[in-house]
Each structure stands twice: as structure tokens, then as C-alpha cells.
Structure 1
Amino acid sequence: MRIDVLGVGFDNMTMTEAVDAAAALLDRPGCHYVVTPNPEIVEVCLENGEAKAAVNGADLVLPDGVGIIKGAAMLGTPLKERTPGIEFAAHLMGRMARTGKSLYLLGAKPGVAEQAAENLKKQYPGLMVAGTHDGYFQEDADVVEAIRKSGADVVFVCLGAPKQELWIQRNGPNTGAHLLCGLGGSLDIFAGVAERAPKFWSDHGLEWFYRLCREPRRIGRMMKLPLFLIHVKQERRRK
């Protein structure tokens, strides 16, 4: 049973359980997908029914962001732990490198996915990267066909929310991949063109503040966090 946070249902799993579940999906027939919503994405889902359906339609919905953990606790339905998308991806790639599964990287600016692929192959010896494509395309069909021809088992779709979730829902089965993961700006970090917050900030749930200090232009997006907490408080009073 999923934990409901403002209409988005989160799977209540540890990181280890989430990676095990993803690996199991990867071995099943058909197409499956994973999403990793943070408070900003939950707020988008409150306003966009199509995005909400795409998020809730995922086989795994993992809480990326301390705000989701706090929100669930405030509503009296605590989640086991935060499972950041980029860390989930790292654990999954380690598993894939050992089991011979191949990966396709989709998203970011031209050249970023290729650099990410080179870095990841060094970081995870044995990881097979079947192909890459930037996120600057107008038509889905050519990209879908490229993924299908690559024979990739897994696709990291890094187009930003809710575009990536909608893209996965619309195109996933036609790619031929068994597992697609919506991972936001992860390719920039894998490529080394952006940095994660240092461990201290992450451990204390302040990664969002670190990013805001580094990129003040994100203030409009970051305002979704206090709005999210206001909505959680309103929902708690309603219940």
C-alpha cells in the first residue's frame, strides 16, 4: 500500500528495497518505470492532472527530497527513508554492471549525455551504455526508435518534471526497454557539469538551500517547498 502525500502515492521502501524492486522489474516481461518526486513535483501534480496520473502510474514512486519525508510524517503516515533519484540510479548501475544489463542516457544539453556515459563506464566497470541522446528534440519518434534499436534494458530519462514522466508514460513501451527512470538533472552531475551538495548539507536535509545559494535563479522553483508544507498543514487539519 502506498503512502499518500497530497494525492501522490509513495512506495514505502528503504534504498536497498527500492533497488531490489527495480532489479526485479527489470527481469519481468514488459515495460516498467520509476519516478522520484520531490515537493516541487508534488505541487505540479496538484495543478496538473495529467502529470499526477503519470507519476502515480509508475511501478515505483520514490521520495526524493526531505520535504516529502517531513510531509508524510506530518500527515501521520511516515515513510521509511528518503531515496534520492541520483543515489537510486547509482545503486542500480552498480547492480547492472554486475548483471550485464545495458543503459541508455536521454536528456540534458548536447554533449552532456556522452560525457556522462564516459564517466559512468569508468565509475562502474562492466556497465554497458547502449546509447545517448540529448534532451533538445522536437519529435519523439526518432528518439524512441534510436532507443529501440540500441537494445537498451534501462533508460535514464532526464528531461525535467513533469516532461520526463509524461514522456515515459507516452513512449516507454515503444522503446523496447524494460525499465525507464525519470531522474531530472542527474546527467549534469554524472557528466561533472554540476555538483551535488556536500554530504553535510544532504545529511541535514539542506541540499535545496545549498543549490539555491549556488543558483539564486532557482528561487521561483524553491518557493514550491514552503507552499508544499502549507498544503500539507492544510491537509492535516482537514483530516
Structure 2
Amino acid sequence: MSKINILGISFDNLSKDEAVKKALSLIAGKSGDYICTPNSVILSMAGEDEKLKNAINSSAMVLADGMGVVAASKIRKTPLKERVAGIDFAASLLYELSLIGGSVFLFGSLPNVANKAAENISTAFPGIIINGVSDGYYYDEQELSAKINEAKPDLLMVCLGAPKQEMWMQKQRGKLKIGIMAGLGGSIDVFAGESKRAPLVWQKLRAEWLYRMIKEPKRFMQLPMLFKFICRATVKRGERHG
């Protein structure tokens, strides 16, 4: 399988369908490993944080969640097949698991939000088994681990935001009785209906990031990181052609 290095992060060059297929294989093998889905902001963060970079590169699969990452791969003349948005990857994986009576444990967001997400996932994917929910704010590490190990989920959705989720998954790899865990940022909020995805027209224009900033002004605080990412990607392009 080909890997593409973008600013120090080794991405798996997979389509969404290929990524889901690989995830199902990892689940079947009860790997206990983890999947990362970095976007441009996380990539920029990793450029200044070696521990985060190591956590991402140590994962079983790294997917490009962001058109900025895909654009950077094209700038470097090593294009990724496509963007694999974390929420789309999660939905497709949940669908496949629902067909075989698979299970999922939700970890992240606020208590009421996580529970709402569990309800909505059960409705959207009737065959799925929700065998655990834990918010990402008020939890005891040992109690959480015991709860997860008792549940033995096929998929552990870790939605703590970066860099916390990546560091947590790296620390827990091999210690939990799970199929696979995936760092999926705000996916629990989306499944709960607390955070809306951009309308399809914005997605087709590849401007979902702009829509989210308009709807969530706090995201404008990420602009410096995005600017750094663009600058680093441009400099790397110059290095390749210099």
C-alpha cells in the first residue's frame, strides 16, 4: 500500500471505500490499533509538536480529512486519491458494521450530546449495537478502560479533538479489548445534530471549511494555523522544484 508524506505525516493513499475495507480487516483481526484523520490544522499543529506527529505516524491508518491536505499533496506532485472526511468514513464504517451486527462505543463530547448521538446512530443504522457511551469531559481513566474492556466494541469512536485524541489513542493502543479505535474529532456532535455539515453545494465547491467558520466563528482562531500550513506547503513545493 502506498504512503504519501505531507509535511512529515505519512498518509495512506486510499479512497474512502478502501479505507473502510481496511478498517473492517483491522476490526476482524481485533487489532486494538487506531486510525487518525488529520486535517490542515492538525497537520500544522504536528509540524510544531513532535509528540503529536509521532502519535499520528504510529497509527495503523492515516486518512486525509481536509481538502487542504489533498491540495498540498497535489502541490508536492504526489496526489492523494481523495479527501476522506472523518464523518463520512465513520458513517460508511457504521453502515458496514450494522450489516453484520457490529458494535460501537462512543467516547467524547458532552454527556447529553454523546447520548443523543448514540440514539441517532441506532436509528440511522438499525443493525448496529451501541454497547457503551462516555462523555469526553467527566470520566475516570481506569473506570473508562474497564467499561470499554467489558463492552469489547468493534469500533471505539474517540472524539476528543486534537491533539488529545491522538495522544490518548497512542497511549491506549494494545491495552483495550476492541477491534479498532478512530480519532474522529467532532463526529459525535454531528451525529447528535449539534453541529451541522455544510450543504452539499459547499462540499462540492470544496469550501466546507469556510462554511464551518462562518457558522462557528470560534474557528477563525484556527486561521493562523491554516496560514502556517499554506506557507509550509508552498515552501516545500519550492524545495522540490529548486
TM-score by length of 2: 0.96
Instruction: Return 5+ residue gaps in structure 2 as ranges.
Output: none
CA distance in structure 1 between the partners assigned to 2:205 and 2:130 by the alignment = 34
Shift of 1:155: 0.2
- Between Structure 1 and Structure 2, how many residues are aligned? 239
Q: Report the counterpart of residue 111 of structure 2 in structure 1.
A: 110
Q: Report the counterpart of residue 64 of structure 1 in structure 2.
A: 65
Q: Report the counterpart of residue 213 of structure 2 in structure 1.
A: 212
8 Å CA contact retained: 1:208, 1:222: no
Shift of 1:162: 1.0
CA distance in structure 1 between the partners assigned to 2:31 and 2:198 by the alignment = 36
Q: Report the counterpart of residue 131 of structure 1 in structure 2.
A: 132
Structure 1 residues 30-63: Cα deviation after superposition (integer angstroms, max 9, x where no partner): 3121111001011111111111011011111000
Instruction: Return 5+ residue gaps in structure 1 as ranges.
Output: none
Structure 1 residues 53-76: Cα deviation after superposition (integer angstroms, max 9, x where no partner): 110111110000000000000011
Judge which range, 83-92 or 166-175, deviates more.
166-175
RMSD: 1.1
CA distance in structure 2 between the partners assigned to 1:155 and 1:7 by the alignment = 27
Judge which range, 130-139 or 44-53, deviates more.
130-139
CA distance in structure 2 between the partners assigned to 1:101 and 1:228 by the alignment = 38
Q: Report the counterpart of residue 191 of structure 2 in structure 1.
A: 190
Q: Report the counterpart of residue 42 of structure 1 in structure 2.
A: 43
Q: Does 1:228 align with 2:226?
A: no
8 Å CA contact retained: 2:158, 2:183: yes
For the residue of structure 1 that corresponds to 2:107, the secondary structure is: strand
8 Å CA contact retained: 2:30, 2:180: no
For the residue of structure 1 that corresponds to 2:78, the secondary structure is: coil
Judge which range, 218-227 or 123-132, deviates more.
218-227
For the residue of structure 2 that corresponds to 1:34, the secondary structure is: strand
Q: Give matches, 1:8-157, under 5 Å.
A: 8-137=9-138, 139-157=140-158
CA distance in structure 2 between the partners assigned to 1:29 and 1:91 by the alignment = 19
TM-score by length of 1: 0.97
